[in-house]
Structures are given as C-alpha cells and as structure tokens.
Amino acid sequence: SQQGEEDPQALSIQEGENATMNCSYKTSINNLQWYRQNSGRGLVHLILIRSNEREKHSGRLRVTLDTSKKSSSLLITASRAADTASYFCATAGANAGGTSYGKLTFGQGTILTVHP
C-alpha cells in the first residue's frame, strides 16, 4: 500500500463542528505536509510539520505528528462550509530535506463535507 494513507476516506459534519483527519505513513520522514484541494482545482499547501516537531498550529488548523507511530492528524476547528474540500497528507522522505528536491508522496485524501 502507499505512503501517506488517510482516514477517514470521507467525513461529513455540520458547520461549527471540528473535523479530524488522520494520516499514516510507512518510512522515515523529514517532514509531513497537509494540502487542501477544492473540487476541480489544484492543491493548496496548508501546513508543514517537521519530523522533530510534535504539534503545530495555524489559525484554525492544528497538526500533530507521532513519529513513533508514523502518524499525523489534522484538526480543523469551528469548521465552515468553505472548508469543504479534499485534504491530503504528503510526506517528504528522511533524506528529502535540505538540499534535496522535495519529493513528496501523497495519500489518497479525506473528502470533507461541511454542511451549513
């Protein structure tokens, strides 16, 4: 199976609720990134967490990383209808930082639907 597998595959919530998506990966990483893809559009970078970090915040986003379990989670608090999108985690391998060229391996994503 592939690096960066997300669960759930689909998540449906009401506006104002929190949404949690999980990502598991298989090999050592330099960093893990989360991207959002609105329907019919390209991916947009949301947040990056390095392998030596455990938690990171950006606005309504909170990302955690547990390298011992090779897993990460993305929490979106107080969700809005505009958060409806697919969310992907992507991993950069342990030798993919610094002067390397940033090869990312993506999971299949979680489709989030936020109902107004």
Partner 1 sequence: DTAVSQTPKYLVTQMGNDKSIKCEQNLGHDTMYWYKQDSKKFLKIMFSYNNKELIINETVPNRFSPKSPDKAHLNLHINSLELGDSAVYFCASRGLAAREQYFGPGTRLTVT
- Residue 42 binds partner 1 (CB under 8 A): yes
- Residue 25 binds partner 1 (CB under 8 A): no
The residue range among 10-18, 29-37, 60-68, 74-82 that interacts with partner 1, by the rule CB under 8 A, is: 29-37
Q: From the list 72, 83, 88, 112, which residue makes contact with partner 1 (rule: CB under 8 A)?
A: 88
Q: From the list 31, 79, 84, 91, which residue makes contact with partner 1 (rule: CB under 8 A)?
A: 31
DSSP 98: T
- Residue 9 or 18: the one with the smaller Cβ distance to partner 1 is 9
Burial 51-81, CB ≥16 within 10 A → b, else e: eeeeebeeeebbbbbeeeebbbbbebeebee
- Residue 105 binds partner 1 (CB under 8 A): yes
Where does 1-116 have alpha helices with state H? none
